[in-house]
Amino acid sequence: MNLDIAVVGGGVSGAYSAWRLQQEKGADAKIALFEYSDRIGGRLYSVTMPGLPHVKAEVGGMRYIPDEHLMVAGLVDHLKIPTRDFPMGAPPPVGSNCNLFYLRGKHLRLHELADPDKVPYNLAWSERGLGPTNLQVQVMNNIYPNLGSLSLCDQMKIKVFGKPIWKYGFWDLMYRVLSNEGYQFMKDAGGYDANVANANAVTQLPATEYSDNTKFLTLRDGYDQLPLTLVRQFEQMPGGIPKDQRVQMNHRLAEIVIGPGEYPYTLIFEPTTTEDGKTEATHATAIKVYAKKVILAMPRRSLELIKSRFFENPWLKANIPSVLIQSAFKLFLAYERPWWRSLGLVAGRSVTDLPVRQIYYFGTEGEQEGGLPFMNSLLMASYNDISTVPFWKGLETGEPFQGYRPSCLEAGVREYVPKTEFPATAEMVYVANKQVAQVHALPEIPAPYSAVYHSWNEDPYGGGWHEWKANYRLDEIMCRMRKPVENEDIHIVGEAYSYGQGWVEGALDTAESTLQEFFGLKRPVWLKKNYPLMPNPCPGCGDLEGCVEFKDPGGKVLDAVTPNCLKPVEEG
């Protein structure tokens, strides 16, 4: 197969890139999308559990902020994909003040986190009376007032304790300005280890973009409907290759061979097979594809698994490791009734320092538009990352959880647990249910009738999301990573090397800016005119006038896509 552009990776950035390119390049363009597994979506993965066809278990990304994630919101509206609210407990009548925190063996409600006499942490006097988010805001303002309101360019120029703030890991910096008890309180009560991980302080310190009052949306039929819709439309567009060859599933990119000629890139794919969600190599004959240009829409670990002299480029080799790969997993349990509502818990989450960490409450099937008249409901019994993931990895082996037939399912149904890559074990479900009961101060809760578990640690993903490491100029790297080797038409897009790590917005932003900058695509009509794409306008200050320098004092033309604000800051 000879291609103008090969897009590798069937996640949201790959699906978007193929869709946009075919749409803009027209019927003669030869574009194909390649995916390692049998599933489009990448780390967007919506699972339908028995008896809950309208309440999706989102084992990957699950929501977006319409007022901030403007690319996602604009694209969803343009594609006319139905949405619904993703309530986090506020505003009333749902309410979030009653949501639970179970920390160091003590039960609290959300509003009690501001009561220093009830919080079981030996906080410094300046830290008392603040919840985890407000404590982080106070620390940020003590280091540099209103840091979160500054552009990335200005943040990169700030020095604290004698060196640029981007050279600090967040934990290293907190050691200087926060008590250990204060840091542990932020970690435990915040719910995510990643929010206080030792990632680059520039991105970690202003991590206050949302609260329990933030409005979230999700897609009515599952968040993976976004990449699925893009791929369906891509397959149906007029193009230079047959429609049934546009999307090649079960293709693992093993090697890129670079050579001369019209098609300089030989992509060597290993065929894979997927059974019950698990994808493995088949050891069948490798498939060769020839391309003029390549887009690698892949996370860091997937890139590291590709063999090619492309990755031996000194700059790329040094900067591929510039992001941390953060482990994460989710466990969903389905119950015949939402027993938690008797405790005043309707939506949002409860948080604990037990290994389950975060527990999210979802509605009943009967409450959904078009839902069946049943009270069965869904609980995300565990959403955790980094330090607590090994606890659950230790429970992955053993007898699989079988579940039981709830009253909402007809007698002929025999499969009560979805078949997935990582089947929940009976012991895992038992332990999780026991911890959930402990968080809710109940001696016993009903047994779940179904469960679904997914870990993002294994290849080819490596983790659930990425965070910038300390000591790396993330502003420079995220711009250049889109075309990391000057003389090669190989591009890297996705969430990993973006300013919106962990969000679909970051994946789309890097993809769209790459398509405009290096493939000549025009700005889409549905994207708001004031949306600051990277790097045009500048990702830091949003200003091209006075930021981009096209000539040096001697008149030599400089790289037009490297803003002054992204060039290294001299010490002193």
Residues 40-77: tens digit of each pLDDT: 999 999 999 999 999 999 999 999 999 989 999 999 99
Nearest residue to 64 via CA among 226, 203, 204, 232: 226
Nearest residue to 329 via CA among 397, 252, 398, 421: 421
Q: Is the dihedral of CA 515, 518, 521, 525 positive or negative?
A: positive
Q: What is the band of 560 on the pLDDT scale with cuts at 50, 70, 90?
A: very low
Chain-centroid distance of CA 19 in Å reads: 21
pLDDT value at position 369?
83
Task: Give CA–CA dist 122/108, Å, rounded.
Answer: 16
For the chain, what's the residue count?
A: 572
Q: Where are the alpha helices (DSSP H) in 178-224?
A: 180-190, 201-204
The pLDDT tens digits of the residues spanning 113-162 come to 989 999 999 999 999 999 898 898 889 889 988 887 888 888 999 999 99
The pLDDT tens digits of the residues spanning 164-204 come to 999 999 999 999 999 999 999 999 999 999 989 999 999 99
Token code pair at residue 392: 């659950």
The partner residues of 349 in beta bridges, in order of sequence, read: 360
Considering only residues 568 and 55, tell me which one the structure prediction assigns the higher pLDDT. Answer: 55
Q: What is the band of 568 on the pLDDT scale with cuts at 50, 70, 90?
A: very low
Q: What is the band of 510 on the pLDDT scale with cuts at 50, 70, 90?
A: very high
| Residue 316: other Cβ atoms inside 10 A | 18
Q: What is the band of 283 on the pLDDT scale with cuts at 50, 70, 90?
A: confident
Mean pLDDT, rounded, for 278-305:
96
| Alpha carbon separation from 250 to 235, 253, 275 (Å, rounded) | 17, 10, 11
- Residue 44 contacts residue 289 (beta carbons within 8 Å): no
Q: Is the dihedral of CA 37, 71, 79, 48 positive or negative?
A: positive
Mean pLDDT, rounded, for 291-309:
97
Token code pair at residue 151: 């552009």
CA angle (134, 507, 139) in 5-degree steps: 15
Token code pair at residue 365: 């099937």
Task: Give CA–CA dist 195/448, Å, rounded.
Answer: 30
pLDDT value at position 306?
97
- Residue 507 contacts residue 496 (beta carbons within 8 Å): no
* Cα end-to-end span (Å), the chain: 55
Q: What is the band of 261 on the pLDDT scale with cuts at 50, 70, 90?
A: very high
The pLDDT tens digits of the residues spanning 310-333 come to 999 999 999 999 999 999 999 999
Task: Mark residue 417 as left, alpha or beta (left: phi above 0; alpha: psi -120 to 50; beta: remaining).
Answer: beta
Give Cβ neighbours of residue 48 (< 8 Å, ≥ 6 apart). 56, 57, 222, 418
The partner residues of 8 in beta bridges, in order of sequence, read: 34, 296
Token code pair at residue 44: 């967007």
pTM of the model: 0.91
- Residue 75 contacts residue 99 (beta carbons within 8 Å): no
The mean pLDDT value of the chain amounts to 90
**Tell me, what DSSP letter sits at residue 181?**
H
pLDDT value at position 552?
37
Mean pLDDT, rounded, for 268-289:
94
Q: What pairing do the DSSP bridges indicate for beta strands 287-297 and 2-8?
A: parallel
Nearest residue to 431 via CA among 416, 418, 419, 448: 448
Report helix angle 132-143 to 170-177, nearest 10: 80
- Residue 333 contacts residue 356 (beta carbons within 8 Å): no
